[in-house]
Amino acid sequence: MRSTILGAVIAIFGLAAAHASDKPLTALDPGQIKAGRMVYEKHCAVCHGVRAEGATSWQQPDAQGELPAPPHDPEGHTWKHSDAMLYRIVMQGWRDPFNKTTRLTMPAFAGILSPQEVRAVIGYLKTLWRSEQQRFQREESRNQSFP
């Protein structure tokens, strides 16, 4: 029952988030944000931190040439990216071309998270940003919205 309710919440949020770039964040339902937070805590926090603070020394490549997971809070750069880019990176992952390994730097979540869950977790991240950062990100997303 619980998962059914969560699924419904995420589905509703997905519809709302598709137009999030046009609306102030305060218009989002707290339940929708909560759904995104649950996704974050389950799948993202292990690398990006429980409080989205990122890995230690995230700006410096490690011994394998990989950049550690960045923060998603106001100190990071997630707020600079459009909805379309964030969605693509979560779904497809990304490999730093200067890695000394062949693995993805950011793992792909396609097949693990549904489109609605990806939109939900991005919606949750937006609540972590300062208002001017939220405004910046909305403008970046104006022509690059969620697919």
Partner 1 sequence: MTAVKKICGVLLVSLLAVTEAAGAGNASPIVALGFEASTQTLIKVDTDALYRSDDEGRKWVRTPLPPSAKGHTLTVAVSGKGGALYLAGPGVGVLRSEDGGLSWLARNEGLPEGTVVALSVHADQPDTVYAVLSRQGIFRSEDGGASWRLMDKGPRKSIVQFVHSNMPGSMQTGWFFAATTKGVSRAMDCFCGWRDAGGLSGKVSAVSYDPSQPQHVYAASSEGLFLSVNGGEQWTKTLSPPAAIAALIVTPSGTLYAAAGDGKLYRSADRAKTWE
Cβ atoms of 124 and 14 within 8 Å: the answer is: no
Question: CA torsion angle for 141, 103, 54, 6 (degrees, to 10)?
Answer: 60
- Minimum separation from the CB atom of position 11 to partner 1 (A): 28
Name residues contacting partner 1, limited to 61-80 (CB under 8 A): 61, 67, 70, 77, 80
In degrees, rounded to 5, the angle at the alpha carbon of residue 25 between the alpha carbons of residues 21 and 28 is 100
> Contact between 6 and partner 1 (CB under 8 A)?
no
97 versus 111: smaller Cβ distance to partner 1 = 97
One character per residue 84-103, x = contact with partner 1 (rule: CB under 8 A): -x---x----xxxxx-----
Cα dihedral 141, 124, 103, 112 sign: negative
Site residue total, partner 1 (CB under 8 A): 14
- Minimum separation from the CB atom of position 95 to partner 1 (A): 8
Instruction: Compute the chain's Rg from CA coordinates.
Output: 15
Neighbour count for residue 77 (Cβ, 10 Å): 11
Cβ atoms of 108 and 91 within 8 Å: the answer is: yes
Report the SS3 class of residue 113: strand
- Minimum separation from the CB atom of position 35 to partner 1 (A): 26
- Minimum separation from the CB atom of position 143 to partner 1 (A): 9
- Minimum separation from the CB atom of position 105 to partner 1 (A): 10
**What residues line the site for partner 1 (CB under 8 A)?**
59, 61, 67, 70, 77, 80-81, 85, 89, 94-98
